[in-house]
Chain A
Amino acid sequence: MSLTTILMTVFSTTLIYAAPLIFTALGGTFSERSGVVNVGLEGMMIVGAFSSTVFNLAFANVLGSATPWISLLVGAVFGLLFSILHAVATINFRADHIISGTVLNLMAPALCVFLTRIFYSGKGQTPVLDQSMGTFTFPVLSQIPFIGKVLFTRTSLVAFLAVLVGIASWYFLYRTNIGLRLRSVGENPTAADTLGINVGTYRYLGVLLSGFLGGIGGAVMAQSITLNFSASTISGQGFMSLAAMIFGKWNPLGATGAAIFFGLAQSLPIIGGYIPVLSHVNSVWFQIAPYAITVIVLVFFLGKAVAPAADGQNYIKGK
């Protein structure tokens, strides 16, 4: 295999695995920037993956090749609806954010597998999707020598979209007044309140955006990687996204970059098979690598990273 082909494979596999993480990590960034800790990303991804798969299976013969893309939106909407639970619990009822997020994580797989059994005659997993997100070759860009082949040939279109969303998120958070206000309620809600900013509204915005993006993340996972839904469709990607968010210092661009790094880690088992030097290594090592890297990154960066000052603190208005 030529170097170009190897690089192309590494790059496209990385992106394919990174895309769900990017969306979800961005979701986490919005939630935590508004001051609501979101360990429920895993649950939101599961709901997104499940709902998008059901939609895809039901409408593939009507919508054709557009199905996976519309399925993403369906996943997003259900992710958003699911995140309302977290918003209500933490913002209205001032529940502990970790507990509420854990509830989402426990509830989502149980609920979705239960529904799968109901919808698909008792089976624990859905049938395989006919219409999925394949690879994409950019029309003009792929003609560029070397780079075109490595970066723009047979790659993941949705990952490029995810990176664009990451850049847009940065502009949203750091250049618009809504973003400034969203960050202010995550830093010092009392100060924001004295300036007439409704803390609850902006925290809702943060949590719902995380549900929306987490739902997309889960949907991408199902539409482009697992191609069906089962209990193991989302296996720790929500937590990896959380780690990517922390690694990226709660900054959309940082989170995007970190998610791509974790994508590389996740694609190791596949890449390992293609690269001659690595093909003799026992594949178990590659399979545990993403999780091990997540733990290591968290150990080294969690202490140093500076979270939004009021992240995880419920806001109680003064008398």
Chain B
Amino acid sequence: MEDYVVEIKHITKKFGDYKANDDISLQLKKGEILALLGENGAGKSTLMGMLSGLLTPTAGEILINGKKAVMSNPRDAKKLGIGMVHQHFMLIPAFSVLENIILGDEPTKGSFINYQKAAATIQALAQKYQLDIDLKAKVRDITVGMQQRVEIMKALYRQANVFIFDEPTAALTPQEIDQLIKILRALAAEGKAVIFITHKLKEIKEVADRCVVIRMGKVIATVEVSATKEEALAEMMVGRKLNFALDKQKMAQEKPVLEVKGLNVEAHKQLKVAGVDLTVHEGEIVGVAGVDGNGQSELIEALTGLRRVKKGSIKVNGKQLQNASARKISEEGVGCIPEDRQNVGLILPLTIAENLALKDYYHAPASKHGFLNYKLINQTGKQLIKDFDIRSQSETEFVGDLSGGNQQKVIVAREIAKNPALLIAANPTRGVDIGAIEYIHEKIIEQRNAGRAVLLVSFELDEILKLSDRIVVMHEGQIVGEIDPQHTSSEELGLMMAGKTPVSQNR
């Protein structure tokens, strides 16, 4: 029998009548990288919550190094050598990296913190695991990648043997992901055990030894990664065959819907969009590729009426809409799936039905003489929940309680149900699981095939390449090129995004 660092035996966790985890068992060996794969809401976070002491199991037990572990708070889990790297980093931006690492376990000399000793300990660890961190920098000044390394160091500093990474690559650039993968390998090589929660199949193939697939709170399969194909993993996760091919019909694409000319937009007194010309036709998806922060956000904000246009014109179906109010723009048939769904797209403390009514609540039939018609609002909500497959308990559930993918579906439902002439989608699939991605992509293509114009802004090159009929590349506020997705590669696109070949190329 092998020695397991962590052994989860027949664990069940109920919330009321709902079984979030149903008789889950898994084992983790020393020096192993185990991927935990599952859609949002499959029960991964619940399981890890129990392993890190945030939740207590309803039934079953957890063995750490062969001994039964009782963990009633995160402190207990830390004592047992379990380190958690949260998806949303638990860091204090105003503190230095060093202070963030030692907080709660500070070495002291008398009543003062012994900063020298702390720094020496951490530097030794950093060297051993090749973690590049700047101890003196303030956390608010360092990159997301380094923030993650600080989180890893926090666990190492507390002598963790088991590392749980919750969706660690969600916010990282491709280079940072490569670096993270190196760190994961280094941890495993030093005999640490790693659990890697994700829904990105590529990364599992690249780094994990074994993969546990969870669906609806149950373990569906435990597989050796090297012997399993990506498609097979995806199917196990979703529970059905995925349709990766999209049905793009041939469209006329002649009549322009959105016409932008010489657009200048400023943010914080800096020119963020500089002389952009852009046209989107009926039945066409135009993809805007670019590295985050090159003016895409400001472009969308200007198009949707959230930011003043400095110069230039925006026309939708021939109507001048620059500097019109957001409501006016919406009424002229512009729908938007915004970048920041939790702050811009939704009102989290309102119900699903209320959020679905946000574009209509102010006029009949949703309201009359200033009073809301809740019967109708809830009825419409119920229908949209059904039509758009929003997984929820009822239409009166708070949107804030839904998973990311389902929150995004609420926005998609609201915007598409209005049949917009122009649909703007900004990173529509960021942070949502593979099933929801497939679904949202289908809906966008559906809009295109119905003869509507779609402007897609995304940082995911694969998404842009897959959906777009035309791709424009934005760099430092300008459109630096236009390419045909049929005749390009992600490498070429990547170079243009970096501003390497700022020439317009029409092939």
A residues near B (Cβ < 8 Å) are 171, 175-178, 180-181, 183-184, 187-188, 190-197, 306, 308-309, 318-319
Contact = CB atoms under 8 A, between A and B. Distances in A.
A194 B74 CA distance: 6
B99 interface: yes
Given A177-B113, A180-B113, A197-B103, A187 B108 contact: no
Contacts of A177: 106, 108, 113
A190 B90 contact: yes
A195 B113 contact: no
Given A176-B113, A180-B103, A180-B113, A196 B74 contact: yes
Nearest to A196: B75
A183 to B, nearest CB: 8
27 contacts: A175-B112, A175-B113, A176-B111, A176-B112, A176-B113, A177-B106, A180-B102, A180-B103, A181-B103, A184-B92, A188-B90, A188-B92, A191-B90, A191-B91, A191-B92, A194-B74, A194-B86, A195-B90, A195-B103, A195-B104, A195-B154, A196-B75, A197-B103, A308-B94, A309-B93, A318-B54, A319-B55
A177 B117 CA distance: 14
Nearest to B88: A190
B78 interface: yes
Contacts of B54: 318
Q: Is the interface of A mostly helix, strand, loop or mixed?
A: helix
A196 B92 contact: no
Contacts of A308: 94
Contacts of B4: none
B439 interface: no
Looking at B74, B90, B154, the one whose CB has the most chain A CB atoms below 10 A away is B90
Interface string B187-206: 00000000000000000000
B398 interface: no
A24 to B, nearest CB: 24
Contacts of B111: 176, 178
Q: Is the interface of B mostly helix, strand, loop or mixed?
A: loop
A187 B161 CA distance: 29
A188 B104 contact: no
Given A180-B106, A195-B103, A196-B75, A309 B94 contact: yes
A194 B90 contact: yes
A308 B95 CA distance: 11
Interface in B39-97: 54-55, 73-75, 78, 84, 86, 90-95
A197 B99 CA distance: 14
A181 B113 CA distance: 11
Contacts of B91: 188, 191
Contacts of A187: 92-95
Given A176-B113, A187-B92, A194-B74, 12 more contacts: A171-B112, A175-B113, A176-B112, A188-B91, A190-B90, A194-B90, A195-B104, A195-B154, A197-B103, A308-B94, A309-B92, A319-B55
B95 A181 contact: no
A276 to B, nearest CB: 48
Contacts of A197: 103-104
Nearest to A193: B74
A176 B111 CA distance: 6
Looking at B78, B104, B105, B112, the one whose CB has the most chain A CB atoms below 10 A away is B104
Q: Which 8 A-B pairs have the closest CB atoms?
A: A195-B104, A191-B90, A177-B106, A196-B75, A187-B92, A188-B92, A175-B112, A194-B90
Contacts of B86: 194
Looking at A176, A181, A194, A196, the one whose CB has the most chain B CB atoms below 10 A away is A194
Contacts of A180: 99, 102-103, 106, 113
A184 B102 CA distance: 11
Nearest to A187: B92
Nearest to B154: A195
B54 to A, nearest CB: 7
A177 B115 CA distance: 10
Looking at A177, A178, A181, the one whose CB has the most chain B CB atoms below 10 A away is A177
Contact of A196 (B55, B78, B106): B78
B242 to A, nearest CB: 33
A216 B111 CA distance: 25
A180 B112 CA distance: 10
Nearest to A310: B92
Nearest to B111: A176
A192 B104 contact: yes
Contacts of A184: 92, 95, 103
B321 to A, nearest CB: 33
Nearest to B107: A177
Given A175-B112, A175-B113, A181 B104 contact: yes
B103 A192 contact: yes
A261 to B, nearest CB: 25
Contacts of B106: 177, 180
A142 B55 CA distance: 65
A173 to B, nearest CB: 11
B412 to A, nearest CB: 28
A174 to B, nearest CB: 9
Contacts of A195: 90, 103-105, 154
